[in-house]
Structure 1
Amino acid sequence: MQLRPEIDLSWRRAASTGLDPAATVDTHDLAEFDPSSRLRRAAEPVLDVVSEHLRDARYSLILADRDARIVDIRFGQRSLRPRLEAVGAVLGKQFTEATTGTNAIATVTELHHGVAVHGEEHYLESFKRFACYGVPVRDPITRRHAGVLDITCLAEDASPLLRPFLLGAVTEIQDSMLDQAPRLHRRVMAAFERACPRSGGPVVAFGPDLVLANDAATDLLDPVDHAALQALGREHGPSDGQRLVLASGLQVGVLLERIDGGGLLVRLQLTERAAPVPRRPAVRAVRDWHADLRADLGRLRDDHSSVVVRGEPGTGRTTLASQLVAGGAVRVLDGPRLTVARVDEVAAELNATEPAGGPRTLVVDDAHHATDAVAAHLAQVVDDHGLRLIMTTGPGRPTGALAACAARCPGRLDLAPLRAHRDRIPAFASAVMREHSAGVVRLSPGVVRVLAAQDWAGNIRELVTVIAHAHRRRAVGDVTVADLPAGYRQAPTGPITGSLRNAERDAIVRALAGCRGNKVHAARQLGISRTTLYRRVRELHIDPGTIQPPDV
């Protein structure tokens, strides 16, 4: 049989998946779907009317969502129901070419245009007794594929009138979707349409579950960039002074404009208009989070400076301290377990070594947990033996006896927490996943948006842990929000956002640390009630168990 070109290509796609034409459709893997989705709500009254026209006829009307999952079925003659159910046409079944071959749901979902499939053109033998015609349903706001409306009948009942019949029904469904669109979506669309002719450059608009982009923005931006722009919008008010490095490596100017109700309009300005857009990601590896410190890191390593590395837990203090070592004899000590005797023992070991390509270096990790007596002795030993000192501490200026150690360190490296640069988190999270999965697993845009909005009290270490969990759940393909740990599947909510939210969060963390977790004392210090403190701890996703005592 000579197949039409689009049917022939569909057969090739189905065959490439290993699907056997003699296979039966499995109906044990049915998935739940939202019966009150926007598509179903818009289609239901239309299907009610259309079904009346099909009464007593051997036709079925099938609605599938954008994932090719059947969400509604109507029958003219009831005798057709068992025949279609026998080939898997039941609510919740996903019709893809990999599982059901060539048909008017799977192939329309693949091609995004109308397709008729007659009898022998079906890939699976069990479907060849039927004829079907499918038309895509497009979201009138986003212009994206939203689903498929399909008419299926016995092959002998096929009619050329199926196509115009379906096209009219789909038009009515799309009109109904527009009428039911949330008010904010309409505002976002209106703002987007006003901005496009005026801007002449890349424009993108965001609303809840909505992204609109003109051709210039679509060519320029990756999904990771969408999440970075939304994070930038949460952190900053309307402004024309922001800059962002895209996943492509190109730097752009960003103009932010709020849309009433919670939307965001973004105009992009190319700061390197003559430069071609490179196609390599700007963040290629986990270490690139500290790329802005690379020059200082190299200088301090090469001139053998003593250095204090300051930052919150999980910001990579220990990693950077190890990168400051440049040959020579090295000993590493753990601040919380450090004793005067251990300091003397290690100093003696270093003194007994011959210099070889570098200074004698003493690395003290988490030095802020050492006692005052040990810190004071450490400073004296560094002077007496002429040792190079590299130590990591919490954020802020060391105080007390530890300040004497810091005074021996002319070099300073201050590590910013993840939440201080939310616009960089999307590319960084994607780089972490690439390193974990060797590029086999990808973070979906929805996941990247959720990750960018988290507070990340544990910083890089916490993010890497979450990514590793998601990778264990998803060995290949796209990570979805459901693959994240339960506590990370929604963005933190609360009335305070952006920089103000971060400032309040940091103030509460400092107060709790200073009061060693005593909420009564912390509330008194902050000048708020204990009830208010409890509420803000919950809303700001502060885990008291991760808060460390203050620096000594």
Structure 2
Amino acid sequence: MPHRLLASWQRSEDYGVPVETVQPVFTGAYDEQSLFFECGQQVLGELARNLADEPISLMLTDADGLVLNRFSGDHALLRALDAVHLAPGFSYAEREAGTNGLGLALADRVPTVVRAEQHYALSLCSYTCAAVPVLDPVTGRLEGAVNLTTWSQASSDLLLALAHSAASTTSALMLSRASGRTARPAPRGEVFRVEVPRLEPGAGTLRELSQPWTAALHRAEDAVAAGRVVAAVGERGTGRATLLAQAERRHRPASRILAASAPAPADVEAWLDLWTPEVGKPHTAVVVRRVDELPVWAAQRLRDLVTEVPLAVTAERFEDIPAPLAGLVDAVVQVPALRERAEDVVALARHAAMRVRGREIDIDPSAAHALEQHHWPGNVSELVEVVRAAAGHTDRIEVRHLPAELLTGSRRRLSRIEAFERDEIVRVLTRPGVTMRDAAEELGMSRATLYRKVAHLELRVPR
């Protein structure tokens, strides 16, 4: 078996992916207004019309392996793909579904074919998949992948070529439509997520962290073991839901954990409808994120739905939890902010980078120091976004890959001119081997002026 496939199988085993059958994560919301989705939908739709009589399914996925759409004229193939959840709304990332064509293409950032028995899960051995990553033609950012799937006994010689063609056409169409395009709206947010009954090292189950985090985790574990309803409170992005899920998993290692985030107001009715068929299943625990955003009427209905299952919730403050749910809470655990546990920053950064690339990503000492010194007002969520952006472009994260604001000591709001100057100074000073003299010459100022600006902006640029 090729080295890349062996490495993927090893990662799949480390993630805890079951060998017998795939159990992918379901997410009920994704961004249908992105340029990538718009262009990919058009390209695959046209290609599907030309392949209407062929046993091939064409799919578009986002950068996290979430299936966004699916085209095929073969109804038998579609029914078979439904049985293994290779359908819109399900994530087929490597950490969720093991070695498969689209998951490996996204993990390695290269075109990939995975045939029959090369799949990690036995339930996928009936298929052959070819996938090609699609990069934003302007920024170079990974947007997702084009995936073509057929039966394993069918010829796959042209499968990768077709995927290549569709990915290239999508990228070209994105480039032609990119100019003058307004910023896309933020996604509506995750509506529903099912975490399958296994430990997921690739999905947030870090064990060895600092004493403040460990102490909070132990308090949550004790409450769960005592059968209490736990509320994890604290700033957004601190890992409140992760802490609760870890506590549930340690106490109930064989249970499913249903984790849901409070939806947009327009989605509340649909969100509530998703609960009924799920909470009745055995060995199920529920974590509801950000319940302080739920209207009281929705909290009342949710309380009635989850009375028979182990429940945990998150909020910024206990006082803001709607009364119908607050009345159920028996224990409150305060989750410390990331700035209160700086020793966790690099470990979390390495973990986030591995989730992006599917392998260890090096963080050089200067970059690690810069990460540790930042205040992280957005907590772990902000750290993950910074690392995702950096790891998407390099196998070794250096200071020059980090955003300039991470190197600014001052927390005051900068003017547009000051922000531009800061970004240019950081861009030049973080290049390997650049001296202050070199930087001053390139920036068109004296060394004395450069030193003054560095001091005024309170820049911390590791040398």
The verdict on a shared fold, with TM-score over 0.5 as the criterion, is no
Greater RCO, 1 or 2 (C-alpha within 8 Å, sep 6+): 2
Query: TM-score under structure 2 normalisation?
Result: 0.45
Query: TM-score under structure 1 normalisation?
Result: 0.38
